[in-house]
Chains A and B, each alone.
Chain A
């Protein structure tokens, strides 16, 4: 299946190009294996000769066929590796094996690098069907329960069993980090698969439905950034705080064996660890509270380092100070991660109510203790938290908490939220909407990115072209009456009918095209993400998908922004009496 959809060719091409970005030096080692119903290792040691393929057919009790020569310094085998990567797609061109021994392949890769630890990158395109850690198409079994999905926790959002978790714990113990690239056309049970990257400091990359035309560019850029971004290995992190407080919980992609530390086989600039605290004693008035985060890690050049961050915050017993200095983005990120954490074990309805009540309680506290002199007929929002209701509504309508949606999409969202940074948490649920059809006629030349529009239908005109990006996806909405001139300039087509369904944005020789690409590239830099571009048209499922992000609109089963504000206000009023 990976062969037919072009996933294998895309992966090999991405790897081949990305190898040149690996850090130089004797400590950088690389190895490669392929798998279907068996695992194929390649011995690259034989310089000037063809690599030798060593096949491990036993996928229930996995082993490595050699002790050495499976992973070599990149400088020694670069040429052989590049030739091999070029050969793999044609080598397997006639392969009709539909099975995948994904779990066994991960285990085998782990065994090959067990003595050194490191990063294991796995490319997978179908549901793992064979060997240790194989999965079944639970989605089909779960469809019968879709009518009650809103009221019962989804077992399908939990890992199917402990096999992959057990495997992941062993990986982490030997400092092996797993990143999984899913280039798939169907259900692959991300709820189960994501356990491994989430436990080992890695992540899931998800390309659904994989397009051999438009996705290879993102796959390559994701992979290149994955191996070249600032990162460390073999990390242990501990957070300490002053007396009176204690660490309550850690959130993120790591392995936690003891209460005080977290182990991260890999840590990088895209990962965020959230730490919550709780009181265990009274804090002294007018004193300061100290926090220290210490991270012990190894650089890609082999240095062992400790990175220490110290923070001191003043204590206060005045609630108005708390509201004055509130950090909305951080606070919202906390709500987001806690909600995502609860999805596999709670009902969506309950979670949405919980999120809403958190918002209401915050605003009610403000009203009660800080703004009691105001008129009861007015909704009072603290200045620092005035966007809290909007973000809360966006979260309720997000992929993770909305009723409708594919299981793997929701599981992927949960996995993504686990390590999302503060900067990217808000865009993930409250994307940025930018018109790109009139970039040349605007006067905003000072800023590379135009001011975003509010997320409602009134801002969408059918003669316009809009980009909606959440840091991960980029949706390009093309109205039904866009001028042919604009289509020609941006997409290189003369009519709407000629627009391909899969977007590959090229730069053409005109001002508008140049500006459009400038905007998108600047967003990519800001997000450290390539964006997965998709064209959306009105009257098509893609158009409906686009409109599902217009948070302020009234949605099926959801309130509009105005309605939500009214709802919040009424709840506050009822609590005040």
Chain B
């Protein structure tokens, strides 16, 4: 009799005041052990060196509020097999009524223990033989031996991942196992707007610059008739790299044209990108700079933003090369920070009329496609534009990067065409009539605010699903992209992103929601389900992601469900609920 829980639900409710009150009540009967409490001050000291400015310290504390909570949660369970908790912690599970509905998620600073057969992670539903030091995987029933450092395990000495109430645990890489990766924000700003709109946007961007995490890397691109990549790490005078609005730029072209191998011979084989592949940090630092280092320059660039200088005839729309700009941004990130979490944040003030991804021609005689046109498949540029953005989506998913779009215009902008790229990369869309509208301004600030209500933007999510063999995965509907990992767990019927057991979520946050659709494995007769070895079946969701504080994490959620049988199954389900 376990209460049904969903991963997303847990996320959504975490900020709920009632849940917070319950968390506090839960902490009462489980005071953290002295040893665990002793470990907190060093972490705090490490997180806040005294040499930092007071304002920065304040901001950093706010930024890491969630991390602090996680740290507190980490203190509650056993710190790991190597450090057995006092015996007093061990108690039988309390009665059902007292089990907290939304417990804190423990953060474990060690690697997970996996089944050697199906790679599932040790979880509360594993059957443990404490004498023989063996655990049985509930998914494939493989018997696994505990490794040496679990030798002290016993009924009175359990690692956190075996606690019945911890169906969700999070593993964090330690300093030795993984570096802290800074988030990357690449702003792509439209300049084909009236002065008033540009003024609003400048004001909003200036506010964002104040809120950027100090260690995050920032890049800045503007576009109109042409695409301009601003060199934020310039020495003597401001520089911009200018690309034609009519052409998309591949990563190889980016490497060749932007002097990433200055003075060196370019390798002739293999995929080349990032510092580990021969690019110098100096060449990357021209375009992506820590926010703390380029704040002045960035503010200057924003302050000097001007309307696109190319003249617009009276009977024409402005030349807006949104597609080329996004292509440049994607290729630039692909060159500089492949595999690191990065967001392209596009601020678009009107329809794309120039180059790839255009949705309408420049001539005002031609109206922008309407919903009816899309419905009747009579928008001449739609299919081609969608194909272009699908290509951008593939590139971004491959790189692990996100596309956000802030579309503020009275006119259509082309979000329908861009949708595929935003959706597959887990990006954000904000629609408003003006960059001065509160919908835009408040939404943008929300993304960067550090408070109890922050979104907890994270990167590079990979979701893997394991489930009992009686169940098949049909697919996921939601902001993700298939990694096309063939598996016997995949159903022949596909709904949404299917034919895989692993998905990529370049961007994800506390509010990310996915709809998972399952199929019941076909057998000789439907009545045979009732004769399964057990009435229980299980799901395990593994989410690898780059936490907004920069560490790689693995969140493991394991749930079980019970089969019901017979012709009264629906009624029985209701009764059970």
Interface residues of A (CB under 8 A from B): 37-38, 40, 50-59, 61, 63, 65-69, 84, 87, 90-91, 95-98
Contact A67 B242, CB 8 Å, known A51-B237, A87-B236: no
Interface string of B244-282 (1 = CB under 8 A from A): 100100000100011100110000000000000000000
Could you show 24 A-B contacts with beta carbons less than 8 Å apart? Answer: A38-B241, A38-B259, A51-B237, A52-B238, A52-B240, A53-B234, A53-B239, A54-B228, A54-B242, A55-B241, A56-B241, A57-B241, A57-B243, A57-B258, A61-B244, A63-B242, A65-B226, A65-B240, A67-B310, A68-B309, A96-B262, A96-B263, A97-B263, A98-B263
Q: Are B309 and A57 within 8 A (Cβ)? A: no
Q: How far is the CA of A66 from the CA of B306 in the complex (A)?
A: 13
B311 on interface, CB distance cutoff 8 Å: yes
Chain B 299-315 per-residue mask, 1 if CB under 8 angstroms from chain A, else 0: 00000000001110000
Contacts A50-B237, A58-B247 supplied; 18 other A-B pairs, CB < 8 Å = A37-B259, A38-B257, A38-B259, A40-B239, A50-B238, A52-B238, A52-B240, A54-B242, A56-B242, A58-B257, A61-B247, A63-B244, A65-B240, A67-B309, A67-B310, A87-B236, A90-B236, A91-B236
* CB-CB contacts below 8 Å: B193-238 with A: 226, 228, 234-238
A99 CB to closest chain B CB (Å) equals 9
In the complex, chain A residues whose CB is within 8 Å of the CB of B240 = 52-55, 65
Contact status B237-A55, CB under 8 Å:
no
In the assembled complex, which residues on chain A have CB atoms less than 8 Å from the CB atom of B310? 67
* CB-defined contacts of A87 to chain B, threshold 8 Å: 236-237
Identify the interface centre among B239, B253, B258: most chain A CB within 10 Å of its CB.
B239
Are A55 and B309 interface neighbours, CB within 8 A?
A: no
Q: Specify the chain A residue showing the minimal Cβ separation from B242.
A: A65
- Indicate the member of B247, B259, B310 with the most A CB atoms within 10 Å: B259
How far is the CB of A240 from the nearest CB of chain B, in Å? 45
For A55, give the chain B residue with the smallest CB separation: B241
* Chain B interface size range: 20 to 34
CB within 8 Å of A: which residues of B? 226, 228, 234-244, 247, 253, 257-259, 262-263, 309-311
Q: Which residues of B contact A56 (CB under 8 A)?
A: 241-242
Residues of chain B within 8 A (CB-CB) of A67 are 309-311
Return chain A residues, CB-CB under 8 Å to B311. 67
State in angstroms the CA–CA spacing of A87 and B237 once bound together: 9
Contact A97 B262 (CB under 8 A): yes
- Residues from chain A with a CB closer than 8 A to the CB of B247 are 58, 61
State A28–B293 Cα separation when bound (angstroms).
42
Give the residues in chain B near A63, CB-CB below 8 Å: 226, 242, 244
Taking CB atoms, residues of chain A closer than 8 Å to B234 are: 53
B283 nearest CB across to chain A (Å)? 11
Specify which of B226, B236, B240, B310 lies most central, judged by the most chain A CB atoms within 10 Å of its CB.
B236
* Contact B259–A58 (Cβ < 8 Å): no
Residue of B nearest to A97 (CB): B262
By beta carbon, the residue of chain B nearest A67 is: B310
Residues of A within 8 A of B257 (CB): 37-38, 57-59
Query: Which chain B residue lies CB-closest to A66?
Result: B309
What is the minimal beta-carbon distance from A33 to any residue of chain B, in angstroms?
Answer: 12
Q: Which residue in chain B gives the minimum CB-CB distance to A65?
A: B242
Q: Which residue of A lies closest to B226 (CB)?
A: A65
The docked-state distance in angstroms from the alpha carbon of A69 to that of B259 is 26
Measured in the bound complex, the distance between the Cα atoms of B120 and A284 in whole Å is: 112
CB distance from B455 to the nearest CB of A (A): 36
Determine the chain A residues whose CB is within 8 A of the CB of B236 once the complex forms.
Answer: 50, 87, 90-91
With CB as the reference atom, state the residue of chain A lying closest to B235.
Answer: A91
What B residues does A38 contact at CB under 8 A?
241, 257-259
The residue on B at minimum CB distance from A62 is B244
Q: Determine the distance from Cα of A502 to Cα of B234 in the docked complex, in whole angstroms.
A: 38
Question: Which single residue of chain A is at the shortest CB-CB distance from B225?
Answer: A67
Q: How far is the CA of A456 from the CA of B237 in the complex (A)?
A: 58
A90 to B311, CA, bound (A): 35
Inter-chain contact B244/A58, CB cutoff 8 Å: yes
